[in-house]
């Protein structure tokens, strides 16, 4: 009889210990998930900043290129006109095929 009670107490103790371990494991997992979420948020912010910087650089380069082309057209209008006419002619030939 004592052995049965001892076995029952041992089983209950094992169940309680298993529940405690499960609770600790859940707490650790929740902590890791929170850390991962904060890391993802930080990476998202970093990617957004990189994208904004790349966009600004591309816009700046495009503005410089447009201004350079405008200056070239102002300096040499006849050459530019001939180049555009030649390019249009070639595109026309390709479009006919």
CA distance 13 to 83: 90
Q: Are 67 and 60 in contact (CB under 8 A)?
A: no
70-95 per-position pLDDT tens digit? 999 999 999 999 999 999 999 999 99
Are the CB atoms for 80 and 72 separated by under 8 Å? yes
Q: Using CA atoms, how far apart are residues 13 and 61, in angstroms rounded to an integer?
A: 72
Provide the pLDDT for residue 2. Answer: 62
| Whole-number Å distance between alpha carbons of 22 and 57 | 52
- Mind listing the pLDDT tens digit for each residue in 24-81? 999 999 999 999 999 999 999 999 999 999 999 999 999 999 999 999 999 999 999 9
pTM of the entire predicted model? 0.52
Task: List for the chain the helix, strand, coil content (%; round to 5).
Answer: 95, 0, 5
């Amino acid at each position: 009889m004592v052995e049965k009670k001892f076995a029952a107490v041992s089983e209950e103790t094992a169940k309680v210990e298993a529940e405690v371990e499960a609770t600790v494991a859940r707490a650790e997992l929740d902590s890791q998930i929170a850390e991962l979420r904060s890391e993802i948020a930080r990476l998202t912010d970093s990617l957004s900043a990189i994208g904004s910087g790349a966009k600004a650089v591309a816009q700046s380069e495009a503005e410089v290129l447009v201004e350079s082309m405008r200056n070239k057209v102002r300096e040499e209008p006849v050459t530019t006109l001939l180049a555009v006419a030649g390019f249009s002619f070639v595109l026309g030939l390709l479009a006919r095929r």
